[in-house]
Every structure is written in structure tokens, then in C-alpha cells.
Structure 1
Amino acid sequence: MHKLFRLFSMHNYSMTQDYAAVISAALAALFLVGFAEFIGGLRVISEDADQIRALHAEEIKESVTAFKAGRKISGPQREQLDRKLLLYQRRLNKMQILHRVSRLITLLTLAYLGYALLDVLHWSALAKPGPRPDIARGSFLTTAFSTWLLIIAHALRMHVRHQFRSWERWVEIAKQWGIDDPDEAMRTAKEWAASRTRGDAA
């Protein structure tokens, strides 16, 4: 607990030119990593959205064709189509929300890093810079917290990618099994595996 208090105590920090050189390099490196993560996130969002649309191309085409022709789909066909389009929209929305959270974390981290870097560079440019423990502590904590935030943002993006790839496989499996909902196919597979373990399944 005492070490944690010392970490946040301003009395333990002091700006020097050597420290300014080291911390500015660290902040700049983290900024570049964060910027690459942000750009990579934009590309991934577009790719995943296109892939989801491709998986549901038949349903989307059927709905668009009927709309352009001024024709209404009714009966069981309409219910089945609505259910498939709802699954598509739900999955797309969930994926985009998680990607946006990751991008927001990265963007806020970039702003945080940029401000700290400018603060350090401004101190270095002063004719007679003082010890400024507030800048020293702030830049150190920014480096530490930003590292964790970028790790969290990247891990979240990778988690979304993993979920999407898993769901993509279950879409194909559901089609092979004649099931509309990939989540239902996943539940069926788990129930079947559990029954095999118990010895209930054939």
C-alpha cells in the first residue's frame, strides 16, 4: 500500500532533461502503436461487416428484390426471411458496438498520450524549466495507464474477431443441418455432446 501511495505522490517526481528524453520517446512509441491499432480497427470493421453481409447474401437479395418489385412476401416464407434478417442485423449490431468500444478506448488513449507528450516537449523547450513534479508524475502515469488501455483495446478487438470467426463457422454448420439460427445450432451441438457424455444419445 505504501508503494502504491508513493507511485501517486507528487513529491517523488522531478523533471530532468534525461527523463524528458526517455518519457517522450515512450509516449511517442505508444502513440504510434495506438494509431496503428485505430487504423487497423477501421479496416477490420469494414471487413467483418462485408463478410456478415456475404454470409446472408441470399436473404438480403431476396428482401431487396421483393422491395424493388413492389412485391410483399407473406406466409411462412416471410416469417423465415424475417427471422434470418433479424439474426443478421443483430449479429452485425453486436459486432459493430464492440468494435466501436475498442476504437473509442484507443481514440481516448491517443488524446491522453498526445496531451502528455506535448506537455513534456513544452517543458523541454523552456529556457529555465523547473522540476515540475506534476508533469513528471503525469507523464509517467500516462505511459503506464495508456499501455494497459491499448492492451485492453487490442484484446477486445481480437475477442470480437474470434467470436465472429466462430459464429461464421456455425452459420455454415446451421445451413448444413437445416437450422436457421446459428446460435440454435450451437446449443443443439452442446446438448448432443452432453447427451453423448451421459450415454443418452444414439
Structure 2
Amino acid sequence: MVKTRPAETPARVRRVVLTGGIATGKSYTLQRFAMLGAPTCDADDIARTVQAPNGAAWSGLRDRFGPDVFDASGHLNRRMLGAVVFSDPQALADLNALVHPHVRQAIEHWLAELDPASGPAMVAIPLYFEGDRVQTFERVVVTACDLSTQVARVVERGFTEEEARHRIAAQLPTEEKARQADHVVWTDRRFADTDRQVEEVWAVLTRP
């Protein structure tokens, strides 16, 4: 009897998602992981690309939300769109349905192009828990800070306190995200403390 050797499963890069609420320090934390050697990808950057004029989601957004949320050059006014979707759950769902499939496709392409020997790949997806989680990741890292710090950071971006609290309330609470995470990086302390936590998480992620 001839035994057939089972086909080897192609090696793939280890997938890690970085997520967290608005203004919880995702961008800074992603930069720190990159400095430690992690290949990184930011879903927000991809979203901006697909929402730009001639981007994959642009015409659908224009049809759904109308010209009022676009400037004279055809670029999306993210603040105006945010005012619409954060006060209307259906509008937010429609926005996600138009944008997220293109973002997922771009992330999958990026991951597929990576050399498995490059180490864990870090993908920042702000609304990972709020989305449908079609993409699978081996580890989840959450950035977190206390609510007062989060509100203050959003206000520093030019929003009123009411607008800040409204946007925060539209997302899953930080406490729930932290509960579901494999690792939590607290960002409401000194930068050195955040850096130390990132280094500790990276040490765990890169263990053989």
C-alpha cells in the first residue's frame, strides 16, 4: 500500500491585530511596535485611500451620503461625515459596508505579500470589535486609557466635549475591549511606561 505524504501547510506570517477606542493611543503604539521590528499596517490609512476621489469606495459614499459631506475638490470631509454617522446607527452601518470590504481586501493582500520570517505582523484596526471580524488574528492587542483622558484627547482634536463623548459612546467601551484582549497597553501614563508595555508585549509575541 502506497502512503501519500500529506501536503505541507504553507507557512504564513503571524497575524496580530491592534485595536482600541478613539484617542486611546493606537497610532503611537503602532509606531513603537514598528520601531521594534514589526511589519505594520494601518486600516485608517487604507480607508482614507479608498475614500479619496477615484478610490474604490468614493462613488458609493457619494451616492449614499450626498455631496454635502464632500468639499469642492471632491474629498470627503471626515468630520462632517462623522457628525452624520455617529448620530445614526444605520448610517454608520452603511458607511462600514461601503468601506470595510475594500479595507479588508487590502489588508489581506498586504499580509499575503509578507515573508513569514519577518516576524509577527501588526495590523491596526480601530473598529475590530465593532465589526464583523471576518479576518482572523492570532492575538489581539488593545490600547486603553481612562475615560477622562480619552475625552480630553478627542477635545484636543478640535471637538467639543459633547461631541467627544458622543463618539466614544458609539464604540464598544474600553473595559469590554480590554476584557476580550490578549494584551492591553495602557497609554494614560508616561510615554516611557507605554514603551515598556509595548516591549513586554513584543517579547511575548516573538517567543519561538
TM-score (norm 1): 0.22
Q: Which has the higher strand share?
A: 2
Q: Which has the higher helix share?
A: 1
TM-score (norm 2): 0.21
The higher-RCO structure (CA 8 Å, 6+ apart) is 2
